[in-house]
Amino acid sequence: MTLSTSLATRLRSATGSLHREVEGSPLIANLLRGALDRAGYCLMLRNLQPIYAALEARLPALAEDPVIACIFDPVLARLPALEADLVTLHGADWPSLPLQVAAKIYQGHLLQLDAPGLVAHAYVRYLGDLAGGQMLARIVRRALSLEGDRGTAFYAFPSPGAAVLGQCFRDGLDRIVLLEAALDRIVDEACLGFRWHGDLFRALGADRDLPQRSPLPLA
């Protein structure tokens, strides 16, 4: 990559193969095929919940940091909608659903990150939600026989909509001004985020007795 390459482009290029690996994990492959049942889907949401809880505690706390300010937008927050979907699909006792060790480790990591590190993990979660959310909403509604938006609030973004919000996030990434070593660290953290998602989804797939691929080696 040249020094003139935008951060958004660098992130997309560096994480592309890891992103595809995560999408090919048994749990996500079943989700994309509409073959993940309600119990499996609720377990996935339950294990994403602490990741969003940590991310969405740290980002507002650092909203005035010049790095975070480039990408921070409160309307991107997914935690309230995710928890509402868990109540709808599982019930008020959703916190009793089991948490994987990988989710707890990821949560702990997010809680101690600085601003550049948090940008990387916001990229991993929010751009994925914005880019694929509408498709996933349709898949989940069909697979779980849901009516309207009930149970899929997680994928619903307010005006101006997912496409515009996604472009605003990418534009924000490209406004970040840091030394090259710090930009490299953002890219490295994003790769780590995808690897941790892979660990989490493999663990959830194993619990659901889904066939597993060999894990990617950690860098």
In tens, the pLDDT along 140-179 reads 999 999 998 899 999 999 999 999 999 999 999 999 999 9
**Per-residue H/E/C for 51-98:** HHHHHHHHHHHCCCCHHHHCCCCHHHCCHHHHHHHHHHHCCCCHHHCC
Residue 2 is assigned to a structural domain of this protein: no
pLDDT greater than 70 at residue 93 = yes
User: Residue 54: which CATH number?
Assistant: 1.20.910.10
pLDDT greater than 70 at residue 214 = no
Residue 130 is assigned to a structural domain of this protein: yes
Residue 167 is assigned to a structural domain of this protein: yes
* 117, two tokens: 């590190």
pLDDT at 209: 62
Residue 128 is assigned to a structural domain of this protein: yes
Q: Which residue has the tokens 């990591």?
A: 109
Residue 6 is assigned to a structural domain of this protein: no
Q: CB neighbours of 170 closer than 8 A, spacing ≥ 6? A: 8, 127
* 124, two tokens: 């991993």
Residue 14 is assigned to a structural domain of this protein: no
Residue 43 is assigned to a structural domain of this protein: yes
Residue 157 is assigned to a structural domain of this protein: yes
Of 4 and 57, more confident: 57
* Whole-model pTM over 0.85: yes
Domain containing 152 equals 26-207
Total domains present in the chain: 1
Rounded to an integer, what distance in angstroms lies between the CA atom of residue 187 and that of residue 111? 19
